Structure 1
């Protein structure tokens, strides 16, 4: 067993190698994944595995095996469980579809063109790529990769597979030197076709920076800008819950920037605060709790339960570090069900007394709002606060599978699969949910005019709500007498 590393020049697996990889992956999922059977019954997962295993009876090339494994991962319907290529499959020589693509009214348009043919300007409708319609390609890519989308939710899958269309396309089809395109120019019904060279990632970025330098979003995370002085409205952009420093275990830098942001909000006497969490894929849960402290009306917990399977202990305890076993015992205890639970789950966070925001909260969210971002949205909704604009977030109201991760490498193909180790259950009342995900109070979609103008259509919609005095959930006033700074 263990048939060796699959080199770039020898990309074929024997049936025995493929079977070994599938069995290895299935074993790791069985012993580590805390949500196996949660969204898809275990019997169905077993059925899919058996079918995949039994249908390999001949040698299979690397990319074909990647496609073959994909259904086993996607059937789990867990946005934190990811199938990834072996190291260096995507490298500096990989070539990508030369567009950023956006959907509006069921059609697909170029928003940014990095090809050598500059006649394909913004608003050009893309009809087919290499003979397949854009709609067909989009459905394929969103079905084979459920990253950032839990359960049967579609918004996360739609969002990421389109925003990162070039990456998804290269991952599924491999590098391609050129593509055949059928398209219609703006204000023209004539169906045209051409063949375009595909750029490397370096060329893609270089062309984008030259052609669209005025459109590059340079706003730092946790940046505040006043957008309407008449209604005292500001936007706080929260693009990630990861701290700005690589080595900052206590996340002090994030905490400091957050405090500066709310000091600015207080100084500018903001009455309506728009939290822009579009495409915020999450980060450190501690930082999501710190954000919530600025508006939650009373002490709160983020999680009700944090649980993991017994085998996860081996991934967190390093035999070469005796302190890791002690640390594990301090943090976790046996849960009585054959696994472990977090001791500090019931930790409470106290609301901020100074710089607490007491005005109206509006959230701009989309399918890319996931993980720790969903925690913020769920807790705020559970507290009866906020007006939600856009589309359903990618994560589930109840919680997710995340916390700690183990990336396993299959022995022959070297495919990599990231497996979450913890089940995180939000401390929320299920009866206060407005859907499986946090759903918007006002659903807002992109129009063709939005594609042409590049305007922030969700922000414009929200500003009109504020000017019309529309607030779905007004701020709560009950606050503790004392709170931590």
Structure 2
């Protein structure tokens, strides 16, 4: 058989297997085996079982879900059935995902991006063949479901990026990735029927739209919105731009704390770019620094500590403690790598709980001096500012510096469950669940918190005009504060809230 025929046959078999998994009927025995397997793995590995939802409630929920598995169930229905058990953990790092072939080149997606303004929803970017659906078109229903109801269902079906009862992370991600969320929860659809209202028109219209594949989606985005894509590309991670020479204001974009290179265990590339950024800020004599962490989902804690070194007033620790359950050790040690056992022993020690704690938990970081920023610090955040991004926000708030603008971050002020992860695959449905292995407690003082998450000093919301102009409304509002000389906390000086109180009665942007 020729190589081309072999590849075609292999591709066909893979495709058929994917369809089989997605469309199969699982027996009650199979679904019960999967659910009990998941419960066992969570109990063994997850450091936050019972933390946000008491353990008795988790047990009661599990029993209820298990006892209802009495009839055959198709794959998508079982995905919906398992979801409440994962979301009950209220942990933004624990994710329920489809089997690895669920999304493929044939999957079709809702053909637009949606953004909210107050209680309404509007199309911000349209990739459908109907080009009359311009930015600002109010979207009312999809397949006879109100958009508000769909949004509520999707954000409650997936707790990713939002800890505890905090809503901002779920609200953000379920709209930013609406097309992905919709396909995951409802499945791929060739077309959808929508009702909508055009800008300035009260007439409710109805139309049917074809749903594009991912390749088609991306291609149309590049064709229609190339200028926006190019502008965003210029604002790369750790990029600096001076936005107001009169007030000596610059924006440092920190979109991620992940490494800049795949093979860089010591994160030297990230550190070098960070050094260049703050050197530029010093040379440009910047007095007001806007650190934009909107949409920063986190990454490597070491990199977040490196950023903090440029404005923290004294030596600091990132974590009070980092702990994991005993069974997590087996997930970090592999037989094929004999060095892994030694590495684990160097990094962790047994603790009084029967698990393990990090040996480097009390590591202190020394602030920079030469290129340290000592001016007014403004931090932009939203619900998608999660994990290591929230760590930076929490440590800065704990130090009593910075002005926080936007909306509450996605993670908790106290810390989160993250660090190392184990992805388990359920034996029959092949559903995948990512489980964090470490409880990471921030080295912060509890009574310095301004909420469960890090809350903004100035809450800013999108207006219809912001939507239509595609304006960075949180940055615009921040620049207004800077021009007025408003700060919530002075750098390295006792906290002053005089300016804050001046605006506290009007702390929402409704431009």
User: TM-score normalised by the shorter chain: which range applies?
Assistant: over 0.9
Distance 1:187 1:318 in 2: 62
Contact 2:123 2:134 in 1 (8 A): yes
Distance 1:275 1:128 in 2: 37
Distance 1:129 1:264 in 2: 49
Distance 2:213 2:203 in 1: 30
The one of 332, 336, 340 equivalent to 2:356 is: 340
User: Are 1:15 and 2:16 counterparts?
Assistant: no
The one of 312, 318, 321 equivalent to 1:296 is: 312
- In structure 1, the residue matched to 2:128 is 115
Contact 1:6 1:412 in 2 (8 A): no
User: Are 1:39 and 2:55 counterparts?
Assistant: no
Contact 1:297 1:477 in 2 (8 A): no
Please report how far the alpha carbon of residue 306 of structure 1 lies from its aligned counterpart in structure 2 after TM superposition: 0.2
- In structure 2, the residue matched to 1:24 is 37
3-state secondary structure, aligned to 2:19: coil
The one of 271, 296, 299 equivalent to 1:283 is: 299
3-state secondary structure, aligned to 1:76: coil
3-state secondary structure, aligned to 1:158: helix
Please report how far the alpha carbon of residue 318 of structure 1 lies from its aligned counterpart in structure 2 after TM superposition: 1.1
Distance 1:202 1:322 in 2: 42
Distance 2:467 2:341 in 1: 54
Distance 2:18 2:427 in 1: 12
- In structure 1, the residue matched to 2:481 is 465
> For residues 100-159 of structure 1, what are the alpha-carbon distances to aligned partners after superposition, in whole Å with 9 as ceiling and x for unaligned?
000001100000000000001000000000000000000000001010000000000000
3-state secondary structure, aligned to 2:113: strand
Alignment of 1:348-427 (within 5 A): 348-427=364-443
The one of 172, 175, 183 equivalent to 2:188 is: 175
Distance 1:37 1:240 in 2: 30
3-state secondary structure, aligned to 1:147: coil
Distance 1:33 1:6 in 2: 31
Structure 2 unaligned blocks of 5 or more:
1-15, 495-511
Contact 1:358 1:477 in 2 (8 A): no
3-state secondary structure, aligned to 2:320: strand
Structure 1 unaligned blocks of 5 or more:
479-485
3-state secondary structure, aligned to 1:279: coil
**Farther-moved stretch of structure 1 (114-123 vs 7-16):** 7-16
Contact 1:80 1:402 in 2 (8 A): yes
The one of 227, 232, 238 equivalent to 2:243 is: 227
3-state secondary structure, aligned to 1:8: helix
Please report how far the alpha carbon of residue 477 of structure 1 lies from its aligned counterpart in structure 2 after TM superposition: 6.2
- In structure 2, the residue matched to 1:274 is 290
Please report how far the alpha carbon of residue 56 of structure 1 lies from its aligned counterpart in structure 2 after TM superposition: 1.0
- In structure 2, the residue matched to 1:481 is none
Please report how far the alpha carbon of residue 6 of structure 1 lies from its aligned counterpart in structure 2 after TM superposition: 7.0
Distance 2:111 2:228 in 1: 17
Please report how far the alpha carbon of residue 319 of structure 1 lies from its aligned counterpart in structure 2 after TM superposition: 2.1
Alignment of 1:29-108 (within 5 A): 29-108=42-121
User: Are 1:213 and 2:229 counterparts?
Assistant: no
Contact 2:138 2:199 in 1 (8 A): yes
TM-score, length-normalised on structure 2? 0.92
Q: Which has the higher contact order (CA 8 A, sep 6+)?
A: 1
> For residues 189-228 of structure 1, what are the alpha-carbon distances to aligned partners after superposition, in whole Å with 9 as ceiling and x for unaligned?
0000000000001100100111011111112100000011
- In structure 1, the residue matched to 2:256 is 240
The one of 139, 147, 155 equivalent to 1:142 is: 155
Distance 2:386 2:63 in 1: 32
Distance 1:21 1:430 in 2: 40
Please report how far the alpha carbon of residue 328 of structure 1 lies from its aligned counterpart in structure 2 after TM superposition: 0.9
3-state secondary structure, aligned to 2:115: strand
Flag as ranges the 4+ runs of structure 1 deviating above 3 A: none
